[in-house]
Amino acid sequence: MGALHYGHLSLVESAKLSSDVVIVSIFVNPTQFNNKEDFEKYPITIDEDLLLLEKNGVDFVFLPSVEEMYPSPILLKMDFGDLDKTLEGTFRPGHFSGVGVVVSKLLNIVKPDKSYFGQKDLQQVAVIKRLVADLSIDTEIVVVPTIREADGLAMSSRNVRLNADERLTATILYKCLDFAKDELLAGVDWFVIREKVTKRFHDEPEARLEYFELVETESLEKLEQIKGQTAVSICTAAYIGDVRLIDNISIV
């Protein structure tokens, strides 16, 4: 969606390692925004983005207009079963239908052999993997680790909307994920951990926690403890001021 940072460039770097031609799409997709203010305030820095992509050896940029992508209103609604009825899906109604439709269109138009997505949007990855499997879309989904600022904050285009105080407060997401992971691995009960995290958010006037959940990474099923060797993650979303941020950490 543009307003590029090193997280996006890491996707480009991974793509360049295994591809002859790298294409980046930049499209702030209106249909995946459930919140008008979030859409209207989404940062746009096209000139800087294009320079950065050129400097980083990107071959093509696909930069469609809303009219090109949606010549007529979209009637199609996508339902991803349990995958979109939890976490982000609960707090952003319609979001994953919008993502599913636009990603289908982008993949149909660009026809990439491999498509790169960030681990930061863990639920988005689960939904898109299911989308390409269910629709037999011939592309390999490659997931790239989350790139963080030095203090742990996950890079995100929305971070530029934080004022100086909020920027400092925003580290609470990663600090709590990191803390919760350590406690969990030390055998502390999940509900005790979550209680402590909730209190930490409560004590921070600029922060408002939406969710903090332990889930099975693939199915996104909510868990109350680590489950053998199954991959599990902790996912969180919180408002810092009026900016909504998400993050996650994998446990095993």
Ligand X SMILES: Nc1ncnc2c1ncn2[C@@H]1O[C@H](COP(=O)(O)OP(=O)(O)OP(=O)(O)O)[C@@H](O)[C@H]1O
- Burial status of residue 140 (CB atoms within 10 A of its CB: 0-12, 13-18, 19 or more): exposed
Does residue 202 have an active-site annotation? Answer: no
Q: Using the rule CB under 6 A, is 7 a contact of ligand X?
A: yes
Q: Which amino acid is at 192?
A: V
How far, CA to CA in Å, does 240 sit from each of 141, 147, 166, 214? 31, 19, 6, 21
List the single partner that 102 binds among ligand X, ligand BAL, ligand PAF, none, CB under 5 to 8 Å by kind.
ligand PAF
DSSP 51-88: HHHHHTT--EEE---HHHH-SS--------GGGGSSTH
Binders of ligand BAL among residues 19 to 58 (CB under 6 A) are: 32
Sign of torsion over alpha carbons 58, 12, 24, 26: negative
Q: Using the rule CB under 6 A, is 25 a contact of ligand X?
A: no
Q: Using the rule CB under 6 A, is 56 a contact of ligand X?
A: no
Binders of ligand PAF among residues 24 to 83 (CB under 6 A) are: 29, 32
Q: Which of 8, 95, 161, 244 is catalytic?
A: 8
Comparing every residue's Cβ against ligand PAF, the nearest one is: 29
35: Cα separation from own chain's centroid: 16
Q: Which stretch binds ligand PAF (CB under 6 A): 97-105, 159-167, 188-196, 228-236?
A: 97-105
The one among 12, 22, 147, 172 contacting ligand X by CB under 6 A: 147
Smallest distance from the beta carbon of 54 to ligand X, in angstroms?
A: 18
How far, CA to CA in Å, does 63 sit from each of 11, 18, 100? 17, 23, 18
Residue 189 tokens read as 């009960």
How far, CA to CA in Å, does 125 sit from each of 23, 47, 63, 96? 19, 28, 22, 11
Place of tokens 């969180």: 236
Q: Using the rule CB under 6 A, is 236 a contact of ligand BAL?
A: no
Phi and psi of 181, rounded to 5°? Answer: -60, -45
List the single partner that 8 binds among ligand PAF, ligand BAL, ligand X, none, CB under 5 to 8 Å by kind.
ligand X
The one among 84, 121, 166, 206 contacting ligand BAL by CB under 6 A: 121
Nearer to ligand BAL, 193 or 245 (CB): 245
Q: Using the rule CB under 6 A, is 124 a contact of ligand BAL?
A: yes
Q: Using the rule CB under 6 A, is 98 a contact of ligand X?
A: no
Q: Using the rule CB under 6 A, is 121 a contact of ligand X?
A: yes
Q: Is 32 annotated as a binding residue?
A: yes
Residue 203 tokens read as 């004590």
Q: Which residues bind ligand BAL (CB under 6 A)?
A: 32, 121, 124
Q: Which residues bind ligand X (CB under 6 A)?
A: 1, 7-8, 10-11, 117-118, 120-121, 144, 146-147, 154-158
User: Which residues are known to be catalytic?
Assistant: 8
